Amino acid sequence: MPSNIPQIALNDGRTIPQLGFGVWQVPDNEATQAVHHAIEAGYRLIDTAEGYNNEEGVGRAIRECGVAREDLFITSKLRNGAHAFDQAMAAFDETQRKLSLDYLDMFLIHWPVPEQDKYVDAWKALVKLQEQGRVRSIGVSNFLPEHLDRVIEATGVVPAVNQIELHPKYQQRDVRDAHRQRNIQIECYSPLGSGAVLKDETIASIADKHGKSVAQVILRYLLDQDVIVIPKSTHAERIQNNIDVFGFSLDDEDRKKIDALDDPKNGKTGGFPETMNSLF
């Protein structure tokens, strides 16, 4: 595993690369090439999901990449329509088949889907999968603190990770203490704000100052906060640039300027956990 990517300790005794590669909205027929580019660039954490409909393409890249399986960290996520215990177990069977893997490094519940109210059953399935050795670490995505507490109280098992939207315009400061108190690592999806933050003039001026791209400044800023970050791209040059963030540092003035961009009311670009009830 590339030595310049730090490892983040998880509460189950395992570690995860701090910088990884996401494939949200990447079609299956493009996912193989994108993941190839990522692995060649040095990424070892690859993040997909059942709902992305590209697990087969990701699996092809894993088989063809020439990197030992134990040097890769592969994550997928349970689809919203499979939260019942037996459905979750069957959905994981399908994920394993599509990825063609004997085990996953991490499996997450994609959304809590509060209207359905079956995420505790889904969590019990993930606990069982971990007990069976079919997945090494288990966690959640888009969970609020009250969702976290319910699954912990029901099973005694604390999620290793909560994958949430987090970027300079939506910094989630209000929930960070809740994660620290529960020893749950935060993993940022849409770290570039689904592209919207790339147009910010404040960050552009900081990027000019350091001779880096806006994306590189954003990723460096997030990595400095000890969160896990999974940018996504299908362009080989951008994939390479997004991992080339370990040779420069931001100063306190840079960080304060980016801190000030937080817009909790308007900065979110994706769905809200309270109301996201789509059964994809």
What is the spatial distance between Cα 76 and Cα 212, in angstroms, rounded to a whole number? Answer: 31
What's the angle, vertex CA 215, arms to CA 213 and CA 221, rounded to 5? 105
- Quickly count helices (H) and strands (E) in the chain: 10, 10
From the candidates 43, 52, 170, 221, give the one annotated as an active-site residue. 52
User: Phi, psi at residue 213, to the nearest 5°?
Assistant: -80, 165
What is the spatial distance between Cα 28 and Cα 194, in angstroms, rounded to a whole number? Answer: 19
User: Phi, psi at residue 148, to the nearest 5°?
Assistant: -60, -45
**Is 221 known to be catalytic?**
no
Q: How distant, in Å, are the alpha carbons of 11, 29, 162, 243 from that of 231? A: 23, 19, 16, 9
Asked whether the beta carbons of 214 and 200 are under 8 A apart, the reply is: yes
Nearest in space to 185 (alpha carbons), one of 215, 229, 130: 229
What is the spatial distance between Cα 58 and Cα 56, in angstroms, rounded to a whole number? Answer: 5
SS3 48: coil
What is the spatial distance between Cα 61 and Cα 159, in angstroms, rounded to a whole number? Answer: 28
What is the spatial distance between Cα 122 and Cα 112, in angstroms, rounded to a whole number? Answer: 9
Catalytic sites, residue numbers:
52
